[in-house]
Amino acid sequence: MVMEYNPAIPLLRPHIDLDNQGFWEAVKQHKLIFQKCKDCGLLVHRPRPMCPRCNSTEKEWAPSSGKGTIYSWVNFVYANAAYPGIKVPYLVVVVEMEEGVRMLSNMYDSKKEDIHIGMPVEVVFDDIADDLTLPKFKRREAETKVIR
Amino acid sequence: MSMFDQYLARRYRTTVRPRPEEYKIKDNVAIVGIGATEFSRDSGRSECQLACEAIKAAADDAGLKIEEIDGLVKFAMDYTDEMHIVSSLGIPRLNYFGECGWGGGASCATILHAATAVAAGAAKYVVCYRGMNERSGRRYGRIPGVEQVMVSPNDHYGSIMPYGFATPPSWVAMFATRYMHEFGATSDQLASVCIVLRENACRNPKAMFYGKPLTLEDYRAARMIVEPLRLFDCCVDTDGAVAIIVTSTERAKNLKQRPAILLGATQGIATQGEMMTSVYRPRISGIPESWYAGQELWRVSGITPKDVDVVQFYDAFSPLIPMQLEEYGFCGVGEGAAFCEGGDRIRAGGEVPCNTSGGHLSEAYIHGMNLIAEAVRQIRGTSTSQVKDAELSLVTGGLGVPTSALLLRR
């Protein structure tokens, strides 16, 4: 069951700023990247103006494998406590990526019964509007062992 | 070792205690007045009127004239402003005023800021208040109908709203899922929290849920709001206001009530946080802000959790009580839900009596200020679920955001 939207109530768009625009531009091209400190190598998500470990402002973008596991989840089932532009039920998940950073996103086409903490997932890009692509996740077969 | 590593390892120990003269709030400042409107689903009055009524009630409770109020601390989130409040109440002048941010995290912080002013001699009688038509007016988590494409107002909202991660119950549910997974906590254990608080509310005629007991069957049968949280895991949206008056312990001697004397008041911000969605931290099954605020509170007061007689934990959602039992040191990491199981240990006669007015889940949700009023009633001996001979009363502020905490004594 693919997530369904209510076109009468558009989603809030991401707030693109100087720190995160590289991330969102890559997503538009169906690529997932994370901010990496050029000095100490720390991967950071969400993008920040400064490395929280070494305070360097020199950073680059590192490609992600797109693979991770579900770290936590919630299931929106009651419309009054959900975003009105999305039809319930829908799942929001925190995914722990192979690279060690976490991402907040949706499950693209899963029901609550089909997911659990620790489940392997991989990124999928959902072009939900002309001006909005979101990185979401779907179940994947665990062909590689995810190191935590 | 970074602060967060210390949190994860729980190795933080206070080695240097401040000399008493360095922490000027302890013993020198007291809460002398509490006031509130009724709690309802539709007040029919402006938020400013609610706030003024509560402030007047608090002044009457203390035995103070409105003219004597010279300081005011409000919530940054409150829609009223101090000019309007001062004009409406006829306060002649204020020489100290300010506001505290981060929603319910401001509750005990307003008392800290008031106490700081009193201890420093910047003001004599400072009122802290919160007035809200949270049920009939602008409810949290209700996104107004947006007919046009909108850009999120900031990077934080822009990182959650496009995914529909939009409402407070969902934000706490994300922590709760992980907490339940890591520690084997169950929804029936959360039910125990809700049931005990409802029992307390059923003894409190002013509570929204007075006369409406809750059974385990009711809890289980209620609809899911954001799974895994059910209806009764969520606080009760309320119209109402609460005001608290702070002055020096010395001045309190000439006022009407037994003072609730401050042992300490603290705030806490922890790193890698976001407003209610700190999912990028090494561990999300706990609330580091609360732990920091607690550690600082025990340090400045010289009190330990085992000395505390009664607690009002900020309980916008039920999982926050077991989590805070852990973060404030009443039980070990991961033991909070089991601590609450069956409810006996958190009932009025138990080891850690919790939220004796019914809390946010069952009395009213006035952003933490009604919890402070109840903490004061416990010191006065006037709670409807009075803990016998309560001498030390803890209350905590909203969490998941920058938080605050307050410890009172007789």
> Domain for residue A124, yes or no?
yes
A95 in the same domain as A29: no
Amino acid at A18: L
Dig out the tokens for B181 from the structure. 């997974």
Nearest by CB to residue A46, choosing from B143, B159, B166, is B159
Calculate how close chain A gets to B353, using CA atoms only, in Å.
30
Point out the domain boundary residue: A63, A94, A119: A63
pLDDT tops 60 at residue B15:
no
Is 80 exceeded by the pLDDT of residue A65? Answer: yes
Q: Do A10 and B155 touch (CB under 8 A)?
A: no
Provide, as residue numbers in chain A, all residues whose Cβ is less than 8 Å from the Cβ of B170.
74, 76, 81-82, 92
Q: What CA–CA distances, in Å, run from B100 to B44, B116, B320, B388?
A: 27, 13, 21, 33
Residues A72, A46 share a domain: no
In tens, the pLDDT along B100-144 reads 999 999 999 999 999 999 999 999 999 999 999 999 987 776 665
Q: Which listed residue (B129, B219, B328, B365) is catalytic?
A: B365
Which chain A residue shows the shortest CA-CA distance from B181? A117
Q: Are residues A91 and A24 in the same domain?
A: no
Residues in chain B: 410
Q: What is the CATH number of the domain that holds A126?
A: 2.40.50
Residue B217: burial class (beta carbons within 10 Å; 0-12, 13-18, 19+):
exposed
In a domain, A23, yes or no: yes
Of B129, B85, B83, which is closest to residue B110 (Cα–Cα)?
B129
Q: Helix or strand or coil: residue A76?
A: strand
Residue of B nearest to A96 (CA): B280
Q: Is residue A111, in this structure, part of any structural domain at all?
A: yes
B252-263 pLDDT, tens digit each = 999 999 999 999
For the segment A85-92, the average pLDDT, to the nearest whole number, is: 96
Residue that the structure tokens 């606080």 belong to: B235
Based on the domain organization, do A85 and A59 belong to the same domain? Answer: no
Residue A5 in domain: no
Q: For B29-49, what is each residue's pLDDT tens digit?
A: 999 999 999 999 999 999 999
Q: Which residue of chain A has the CA closest to B283?
A: A71
A129 alpha carbon, distance to own chain's centre? 17
Mean pLDDT of chain A: 93
Q: Edge to edge, what strands does the sheet with B260-268 contain?
A: B96-100, B71-75, B126-133, B239-248, B29-36, B260-268, B403-409, B392-396, B310-312
What's the gap in Å between the CA of B285 and the closest CA on chain A?
Answer: 10
Mean residue pLDDT across chain B: 94
Cβ-Cβ contacts under 8 Å between A and B: the total is 139
| Bridge partners, residue B241, by sequence | B131
CA angle B19, B23, B25 (to 5 degrees): 140
B71-90 confidence digits (pLDDT tens)? 999 999 999 999 999 999 99
Residues of B in contact with A80 (CB under 8 A): 142
pLDDT tens, position by position, B349-375: 999 999 999 999 999 999 999 999 999
Helices (H), B203-312: 216-221, 249-252, 288-301
Mean per-residue pLDDT, B272-277: 90
Tell me if A89 sits within 8 A of A1, measured CB to CB: no
Task: In whole angstroms, give the CA distance from residue B143 to residue A85.
Answer: 10
Q: Do A148 and A98 fall into the same domain?
A: yes
Asked if residue A129 and residue A79 are part of one domain, the reply reads yes
Of A9, A17, A90, the CB nearest to B146: A9
Residue A69 and residue A59 share a domain: no
Claim to verify: residue A36 and residue A55 sit in the same structural domain: yes
Q: What is the pLDDT of residues B290-342, one digit of tens each?
A: 999 999 999 999 999 999 999 999 999 999 999 999 999 999 999 999 999 99
Helix axes B107-120, B369-380, angle to 10 degrees: 60
CA distance A106 to chain B (A): 6
Chain A residues closer than 8 Å to B157 by CB: 12, 15
Residue A46 contacts B, CB cutoff 8 Å: yes
In the residue annotation, B179 being an active-site residue is answered as: no
B contacts of A28 (beta carbons < 8 Å): none
Is residue A41, in this structure, part of any structural domain at all? yes
Query: Do you find a cis peptide bond into B135, omega within 30 degrees of 0?
Result: no
pLDDT at A145: 56
Residue B184: its chain A contacts at CB < 8 A?
A: none
Alpha helices in B238-353 (DSSP H): 249-252, 288-301, 320-327, 336-340
User: Tokens for B21?
Assistant: 């003269």
For B165-176, write each residue's pLDDT tens digit.
999 999 999 999
Query: What's the total number of domains in chain A?
Result: 2
Please give the pLDDT value at position B38.
98
Same-domain check for residues A113 and A80: yes
Residues B81, B64: Cα–Cα separation, whole Å: 22
Please answer yes or no on whether A81 and B181 come within 8 Å at the CB atom: no
d(CA A31, CA A23): 9
Identity (one letter) of the amino acid at B266? T
Give the global pTM.
Answer: 0.94
Looking at the structure, tell me whether residues A84 and A56 fall in a common domain: no
Tell me, yes or no, if B140 is annotated catalytic.
no
Whether residue B26 is predicted with pLDDT greater than 90 in this model: the reply is yes
pLDDT in tens, A24-49: 999 999 999 999 999 999 999 999 99
A54, part of any domain: yes
Range of the domain at A144: 65-148
Please name the residue of chain B whose CA is at the shortest distance from the CA of residue A133. B162
Mean local confidence (pLDDT), A126-148: 83
Whether residue A10 lies inside any domain: the answer is no
B393 DSSP β-pair partners: B310, B408
Do A48 and A112 belong to one domain?
no
Q: Verify that A57 and A90 share a domain, yes or no.
A: no
Q: How distant is the alpha carbon of residue A73 from its chain centre?
A: 13
The more confident residue out of B165 and B149 is B165
Taking contacts as CB-CB distances below 8 angstroms, the residues of chain B near A105 are 163
Convert the pLDDT of each residue in B156-167 to its tens digit.
889 999 999 999
The whole-angstrom separation of Cα B242 and Cα B50 is 8
Euclidean distance between the first and final Cα of chain B, in Å? 38
Which residue segments constitute the domains of chain B, with CATH numbers given? 29-137+239-244 (3.40.47.10)
